């Protein structure tokens, strides 16, 4: 029985990874991902790895690790979707392997495989591998660090020690101190509650700290020379910014202390409510598993490990205390959430958990039907969807009939994961593919590149925000004063800008019109085909003839 279970788990995990890799066909999304991609492209050309620039100007926001690995990939593969996404996905695949080794040491092989399957089939992972930002690398490196430092404490292998602290350093260079907080909180609470004093006060950690500091030196050198040595600079309205202070304090802790100007004052519950959609289809099971874990700890005051439940709680408190929160901030906790959920499902094959899985399966089945009926109905290929749904149904029936090899509970786990993966095959290769046709910035950039229009001949005029993808897909930086009257041969503008230009110039020839919507902020009026036109904006590539 176990071998059959394991085979199905492996197949579904490999299928999930295949979906991640196939997401290279989906264009890079504005605003953040396209911005990071273009910074990486510029870095690959300028070779300025230690001092980061965006469109030739000082960049002071995210640490550089994502830019470094993406720039190296772009150097090798060219400025493509695949080149930008590939390094992040590779690091995540290694993180899945680390999760397997980690949970196998904590529990057993089945729980380890189930943890990997739950994590890699959760909705947030499919989203992160489509819309690659810093969160995927941050989550992956944090998981790798926790897993291998813990494995080192158990098997004393030097390779685990090195991997764990190298991952910690790279995590710090991906999104700041939150990686250190997450690793310290997860392992610290475990060793503290287990009263494992030798692993709390282990002098060898000093060598690990040395590894981290050595690896941080290049980034710190670059920050110091780019910002701290130039008090005359003003970046993003900040006078005399300290790059070192910004990355190691203001960017993270400043959002708690109020030193950072970023604040949206979301409540402490905000990130937890986002788990409901982001950890789909396992979110209902996780909530029950979380409550069960808390109850077990308070009742019996003992458990196999505190890394997952304790780490999750402490990290959540740190993130939930921030004055500025976005839904994806909670993604760093998802490997720990996957362990909690997997262990619960492994230990509790009861009717209640089966009902939760059935609800999740129904939701995963209903979602494509919603998409079919309300999204991109004019572009739908009905025969393709019919075949897709028939295959899903046939495989589901096959799983149900395998009762001799699989008990009903584990059958439901397999079907739940299969439906989640099937849903995201559909979303990746139909929904997102159609959705990106409304991202005018990438469409304009591709047109410029295809028609070999020189950026020196292009002005922008009164554009909306969020057009970073133009530069990446045009494979050149288009620099102009967006609010000054254009003087170059070609102009990228909006409907209002076009009307103004027609009044000021003898002739304005429209070369191409592009429909536009901020696809990272979807709403029902845009999704529904009959009301979509009301929500669209338009960009124009025009030629000026005085």
For the stretch 392-418, pLDDT in tens is: 566 556 555 554 444 566 777 888 888
Cβ(352)–Cβ(288) below 8 Å: yes
Crossing angle of the two packed helices 408-426 and 382-401, in degrees rounded to 10: 170
pLDDT at res. 509: 85
Cβ burial, residue 303 (10 Å; 0-12/13-18/19+): middle
Cα distance between residue 502 and residue 98, in whole Å: 60
Name, in order, each residue with C-beta under 8 angstroms of 220's C-beta and a sequence gap of 6 or more: 244
In order of 144, 483, 490, the CA distances from 487 in angstroms are 52, 12, 8
Per-position DSSP letters for 237-290, written without gaps between them: TEES--HHHIIIIITTTHHHHT-SS------TTHHHHHHHHHTTTSHHHHHHHH
Q: How far apart are CA 130 and CA 26, in angstroms?
A: 7
Report long-range pairs for 48-55 (Cβ below 8 Å, ≥24 apart).
49/218, 49/222, 50/218, 50/219, 50/221, 50/222, 50/225, 50/226, 51/222, 51/225, 51/226, 52/222, 52/226, 55/471, 55/477, 55/479
Looking at the whole model, is its pTM more than 0.85?
yes
| pLDDT, position 49 | 93
Cα separation, 69 vs 447, whole angstroms: 27
Quote the DSSP letter at residue 57.
E
Q: What pLDDT was estimated at residue 312?
A: 94
- For the chain, list residues with pLDDT below 70: 1-5, 252-266, 301-302, 349-355, 364-409, 464-466, 505-506, 546
Q: Which residues does residue 513 pair with via DSSP β-bridges, in sequence order?
A: 540
| pLDDT tens column, 328-350 | 889 999 999 999 999 998 887 66
């Amino acid at each position: 029985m176990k071998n059959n279970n394991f085979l199905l788990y492996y197949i579904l995990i490999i299928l999930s990874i295949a979906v991640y890799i196939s997401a290279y066909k989906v264009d890079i999304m504005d605003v953040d991902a396209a911005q990071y991609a273009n910074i990486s492209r510029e870095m690959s050309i300028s070779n300025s790895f230690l001092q980061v620039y965006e469109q030739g100007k000082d960049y002071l926001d995210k640490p550089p690790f994502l830019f470094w690995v993406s720039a190296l990939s772009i150097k090798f593969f060219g400025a493509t979707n695949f080149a930008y996404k590939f390094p992040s996905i590779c690091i995540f695949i290694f993180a899945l392997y680390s999760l397997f080794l980690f949970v196998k040491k904590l529990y057993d092989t089945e729980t380890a495989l189930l943890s990997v399957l739950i994590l890699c089939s959760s909705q947030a992972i499919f989203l992160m591998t489509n819309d690659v930002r810093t969160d995927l690398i941050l989550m992956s490196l944090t998981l790798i660090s926790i897993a291998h430092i813990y494995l080192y404490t158990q098997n004393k292998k030097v390779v685990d020690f090195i991997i764990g602290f190298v991952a910690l350093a790279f995590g710090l260079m991906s999104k700041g101190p939150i990686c250190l907080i997450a690793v310290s909180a997860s392992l610290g609470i475990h060793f503290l509650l287990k009263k494992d004093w030798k692993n709390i006060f282990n002098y060898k950690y000093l060598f690990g700290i040395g590894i981290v500091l050595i690896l941080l030196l290049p980034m710190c050198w670059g920050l110091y020379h780019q910002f701290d040595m130039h008090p005359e600079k003003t970046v993003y309205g900040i006078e005399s910014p300290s790059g070192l202070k910004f990355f190691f304090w203001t960017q993270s802790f400043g959002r708690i202390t109020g030193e950072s100007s970023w604040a949206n004052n979301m409540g402490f519950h905000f990130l937890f409510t986002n788990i409901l959609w982001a950890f789909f289809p396992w979110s209902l099971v996780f909530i029950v598993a979380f409550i069960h874990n808390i109850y077990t700890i308070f009742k019996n005051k003992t458990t196999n490990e505190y890394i997952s439940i304790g780490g999750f709680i402490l990290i959540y408190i740190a993130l939930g205390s921030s004055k500025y929160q976005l839904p994806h901030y909670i993604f760093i906790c998802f490997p720990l959430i996957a362990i909690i959920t997997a262990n619960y499902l492994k230990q509790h094959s009861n009717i209640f958990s089966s009902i939760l899985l059935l609800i999740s399966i129904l939701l995963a089945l209903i979602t494509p039907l919603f998409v079919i009926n309300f999204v991109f109905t004019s572009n739908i290929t009905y025969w393709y969807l019919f075949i897709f749904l028939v295959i899903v149904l046939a495989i589901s029936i096959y799983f149900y009939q395998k009762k001799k090899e699989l008990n009903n509970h584990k059958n439901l786990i397999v079907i739940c994961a299969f439906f989640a993966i099937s849903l995201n095959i559909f979303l990746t290769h139909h929904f997102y593919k159609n959705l990106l046709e409304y991202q005018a910035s990438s469409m304009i950039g591709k047109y410029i590149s295809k028609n070999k229009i020189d950026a020196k001949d292009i002005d922008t005029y009164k554009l909306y925000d969020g057009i970073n993808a133009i530069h990446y897909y045009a494979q050149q930086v288009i620099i102009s004063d967006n609010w000054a009257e254009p003087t170059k041969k070609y102009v990228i503008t909006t409907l209002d800008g076009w009307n103004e230009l027609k009044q000021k110039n003898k002739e304005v020839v429209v070369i191409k019109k592009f429909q536009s919507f901020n696809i990272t902020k979807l709403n029902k009026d845009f999704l529904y085909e009959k009301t979509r036109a009301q929500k669209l904006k338009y960009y124009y590539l025009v030629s000026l003839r005085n």
